[in-house]
Amino acid sequence: MTTVVIIVAVVLLAALGYFLVRRRTDGGHGLRRRFGPEYDRTVERHNGDTKAAEHELAERVKLHGHLEERPLPPEVREGYTDRWAAVQEQFIDSPTEAIAQADALLAQLARDRGFPDGAGFEEQTAALSVHHAEHVDGYRKVHTAVRGQGGTEDMRKALIESRALFDVLLGHAPDEPAHASRHRTNGRTA
């Protein structure tokens, strides 16, 4: 009987040890899965120090993971759609002004959905990255372009990439495709 108890205790300790090791090493994989390209960007910002990057990302989740996005009424969504279409149209004649308006529009839309203004752009993008990590980089590119970094082609790419975040923040209705818009200009979706 004593032998059986010892064997059971050893098996339980081995299972516990395996669980603890697996849990510790899986933390990074969970963050990598959750944050996708944002994980890689954060590791790069920390000069390859995955432990520091994972600590930062875990802190973001702790600070902003509980945030629940507020829904937008249909008329507000429509207003944002119209304003985004105007930004896209303005880009042809005045890319710099259009990028500045896109940056402001994304910031306001994020605020209206319940993301913090905080101390500024970095806090807002940190919160956005917890909920929309795969889309936040386009917003960063728009924000960088506003600061005069890059040419017209960089601004165009930034505007295109930021559209994904705009669409997800707009919170399209479940039966409406994410990249479809109710606003039509010259027979084309804006």
The count of C-alpha atoms lying within 13 angstroms of the C-alpha of 176, restricted to the half-sphere facing its C-beta, is: 14
18 and 90 both lie in a single domain: no
32: left (phi over 0), alpha (psi -120 to 50) or beta: alpha
Q: Which domain holds residue 154?
A: 74-189
Residues 166 and 90 both lie in one domain: yes
The pTM of the full predicted model, rounded to 2 decimals, is 0.74
Write down which residue in 64, 95, 113 finishes a domain. Answer: 64
Task: Examine the domain organization and report whether 97 and 30 are in the same domain.
Answer: no
How many domains does one find in the chain? 2
Shared domain for 78 and 159, answered yes or no, is yes
Which pLDDT tens digit goes with each residue over 124-154? 999 999 999 999 999 999 999 998 878 999 9
Statement to judge: residues 151 and 89 lie in one domain: yes
Q: Is 69 part of any domain?
A: no
- 24 half-sphere exposure, CB direction, 13 A CA radius: 7
47 burial level (CB within 10 Å; 0-12, 13-18, 19+): exposed
Residue 94 and residue 23 share a domain = no
Q: Which residue has the higher pLDDT, 178 or 72?
A: 72
